[in-house]
Amino acid sequence: MSGESGKRAKGGGAERIGSRARRGTTSTPAQVGILFGSGSDRDVMSEAARVLGKFGIPCEMNVLSAHRTPDEARDYARSAREKGIQVLICGAGMAAHLAGAVAASTTLPVLGVPLSAGTLGGLDALLSTVQMPAGVPVGTLGIGAAGARNAALLAAQILALANPGLRRKLDTHKREMARGAKL
Ligand code: C2R
């Protein structure tokens, strides 16, 4: 294993999350891929997995970096669709190039979550993620945990375009939110 692969594994590697996977039976293919640049981003990006789980959407999490593991990040982006993934969520802090690099290698929708790391409170990551050149879109959410939750909700809304059952769950969520429920 190369040093970079070792770092990826240490950061968490692939992790499949879904109700059937949790019960230890045949695993459900992930529909959403959650990527983040470092193991240090895991807690915040786990919020996206939690929200997807609330709507019964299987997802997987991987630590991948456009800076530290560029070949693996590109390979993941290129092969995601054939694995069944329909939406990608990419979280990164500092000079956050992960979402843009992933978007460069796929036509799946890519949602970017800027994270607060280092000294600039996430503004660095926000600008790095949102200011994509025309032709390579990254749908950018807010900084940090709220952005991670909203990325998951937006991914659910994208999937719901072709999934009436999921749309009903989202409608229920809207009604619950109006009554004060938190995501
Ligand atoms: P470490 O805590 O590992 O030093 O990482 C990560 O997302 C993390 O927030 C510090 C920060 O570096 C970010 N990082 C990126 C990328 N890879 C790692 N922005 C990338 O590819 O954009």
pLDDT at 26: 56
- What local confidence, expressed as pLDDT, does residue 173 receive? 97
Residue 65 CB–ligand 1 contact under 6 Å? yes
Q: Which ranges of the chain have pLDDT less than 70?
A: 1-14, 18-26
Closest atom of ligand 1 relative to the 70 alpha carbon: 21
Burial label, 105 (beta-carbon count in 10 A; 0-12, 13-18, 19+): middle
Residue 38: which of 83, 104, 95, 77 has the closest Cα?
Answer: 95
Residue in 48, 43, 37 with CA at minimum distance from that of residue 92:
37
pLDDT value at residue 15: 72
Q: Is the CB of 38 under 6 A from ligand 1?
A: yes
Ligand 1 in reach of 92 Cβ (< 6 A): yes
Which pLDDT score, from 0 to 100, does residue 11 have? 43
Q: Ligand 1 pocket, 57 CB below 6 A?
A: no
Ligand 1 mean position to 92 CA, how many Å?
Answer: 6
DSSP state letters, the chain: --HHHHHHHHHT--EEE-HHHHHTSSPPPPSEEEEESSGGGHHHHHHHHHHHHHTT--EEEEE--TTTSHHHHHHHHHHTGGGT--EEEEEEESS--HHHHHHTT--S-EEEEEE--TTSTTHHHHHHHH-PPTTS--EE--SSHHHHHHHHHHHHHHHHTT-HHHHHHHHHHHHHHHTT---
Q: What is the per-residue pLDDT for 17?
A: 73
Residues 6+ apart with CB under 8 A from 78: 105, 106
> Distance between CA 183 and CA 79 in Å, rounded?
31
Q: Is 89 exposed, middle or buried (0-12, 13-18, 19+ CB in 10 A)?
A: buried
Q: pTM for the full model?
A: 0.91
Domain 15-178: which topology? Rossmann fold (3.40.50)
